[in-house]
Every structure is written in C-alpha cells, then in structure tokens.
C-alpha cells in the first residue's frame, strides 16, 4: 500500500533506538526525510547511518535534552518545517508511590510528559499556519492499566492520553491531526530494564527476566517494527479521518 508519504518531513524524538529508530527506518523506506532527536550524539549517528541505508533520504540528527524547555525550542527551530512529529522520548522509572521520590518523579515527567507537551506547543503553530500536519504521541499502555508498581509512568501516560485526545479533538479547524499509540510490552532496551526490575521483585533474580515473557500474549513481546507500522499508517493520509484517537497495541493484554 502506498502511504503517500514521499517527500514528507518527520521529526522523531527518542529516535536513536527502539521504537523511534524503527519508525525512522520505516518512514525513510516510504520516502520521508527524517530528523532524529536523542541525547547521545554517537548513538544518534549510528541510528542515522542505519536509516540512510534503507533509502536515500535526508537524515539529520539533533542531540538534545528534551527535559529542558530551552532545548525543546532549539530543536523546533533547527528542525524547520515538520509534516510529522513523532513524540517518543521518555524513560519514567518503575516504583511505587513511596519508592519514587519527588525529584525522580519530576525529572522523569519533565522529559516525557512536559517534553511531549512542550514540543507539541512549539511545532503545532507552524502546522496550523500551513493547515497541514500530523502529531503521533507514542505514550504507553500503562496509562490504561494503572500498575501500582509503575505509578509515575501510569500517571504520566494517563495525562498524555488526555492531552492527546483534547488536542486531537480541537485541531480540525487547523487542518492538523493528533493521535496516540499505547504500546504494551515491546522488545526494546527500555522494556528489558523494566522486566529486570519486575523479575527481581517477583522471582528474586533480575537475570530471569525472560521468564516473564512466557505469559504474554502469543508468548512474546511486540516488536518495535510493529509499532512503527502503526505510526506510519496513522501519519499518512490513508488515515486522514483519524484524530483524537489512541491506538493500543499490546497483543490484547
């Protein structure tokens, strides 16, 4: 299926690995010029090389800490005109309401919750002025399931779900669409960290984390590429009547 994305320009945060990198590679295959944002320049360049190997499109990188408002504004300025914004950066740690201290909670939300919101606020006006653009927020299924052992993440994701729906329900007049994706357990470095944490709590040994995958739907985690496929479709005009919607991809969990 031709997604009609040839020549579009995408800005992808958390683009150096996992879902962000998979999204960049797939969008590049569709002819999209991509700008990848992450904190580590070396990891970004490795990802950029992999994306360029898919197709001869323009691939740019911006090393930035999106937990800082000044960095968000710099990224928006350096990225230039953006047709597709994929908000994907964020790493909220696991823990209960008593084990996650205020400093950790606020720092994690500065990157994911306020990072998503701030970058939307920085990019949206230019999209609205052109009467064209799509924002895809990659949030997380914990915002629907509310696990108490991941309370900062569950609460932050729920807030981003509300933000995505509210923005997506009011953007039609501007010719913009805003959608969200809630991945369940997905085979990324981030997910391995969470599974190690849970394996230590449940099994007494973090190295037994793979055992926790056996009870997942289809006996496995989802793949970053499966999430990337949804990102590309939702960002395309094949999904042109979709906004204010959040798609859960968790194998039915």
pLDDT tens-digit readout, 71-98:
999 999 999 999 999 999 998 999 999 9
Which DSSP state fits 205? -
Q: Does a structural domain hold residue 91?
A: yes
Q: Which helix (DSSP H) or strand (DSSP E) does residue 137 occupy?
A: strand 133-138
Q: How confident is the model at residue 146 (pLDDT cuts 50, 70, 90)?
A: very high
Domain of 151, CATH number, reads 3.40.50.720
Q: Does a structural domain hold residue 31?
A: yes
Q: Are 150 and 194 in contact (CB under 8 A)?
A: yes
Dump pLDDT digits (tens) for 225-239. 999 999 999 999 999
* β-bridge partners, 183: 249
Mean pLDDT value across residues 114-120? 98
Q: Which residue has the tokens 């295959």?
A: 29
User: Known catalytic residue: 150?
Assistant: yes
Dump pLDDT digits (tens) for 173-191. 999 999 999 999 898 887 7
State the residue range of the domain holding 43: 9-184+222-248
C-alpha dist (Å) from residue 112 to 157, 239, 243: 9, 26, 21
pLDDT for res 215: 87
Of 124, 150, 218, 241, the active-site residue reads 150
Overall domain count for the chain: 1
Q: Does a structural domain hold residue 211?
A: no
């Amino acid at each position: 299926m031709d997604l009609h994305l040839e020549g579009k320009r995408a800005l992808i945060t958390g683009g150096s690995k996992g879902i962000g990198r998979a999204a960049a590679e797939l969008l590049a295959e569709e002819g999209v010029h991509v700008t990848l944002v992450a904190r580590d320049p070396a990891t970004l360049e490795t990802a950029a090389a992999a994306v360029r190997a898919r197709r001869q499109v323009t691939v740019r990188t911006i090393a930035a800490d999106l937990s800082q408002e000044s960095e968000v504004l710099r990224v928006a300025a350096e990225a230039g005109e953006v047709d597709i914004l994929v908000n994907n950066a964020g790493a909220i740690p696991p823990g209960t309401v008593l084990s996650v201290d205020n400093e950790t909670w606020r720092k994690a939300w500065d990157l994911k919750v306020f990072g998503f919101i701030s970058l939307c606020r920085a990019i949206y006006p230019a999209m609205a002025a052109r009467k064209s653009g799509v924002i895809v927020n990659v949030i997380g299924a914990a915002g629907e399931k509310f696990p108490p052992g991941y309370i900062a993440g569950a609460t932050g994701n729920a807030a981003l779900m509300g933000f995505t729906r509210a923005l997506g329900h009011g953007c039609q007049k501007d010719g913009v669409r805003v959608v969200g994706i809630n991945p369940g357990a997905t085979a990324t470095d981030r997910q391995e960290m969470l599974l190690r944490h849970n394996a230590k709590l449940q099994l007494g040994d973090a190295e037994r984390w793979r055992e926790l995958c056996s009870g997942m739907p289809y006996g496995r985690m989802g793949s970053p590429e499966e999430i990337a496929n949804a990102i590309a479709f939702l960002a395309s005009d094949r999904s042109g009547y979709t906004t204010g919607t959040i798609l859960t991809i968790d194998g039915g969990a």
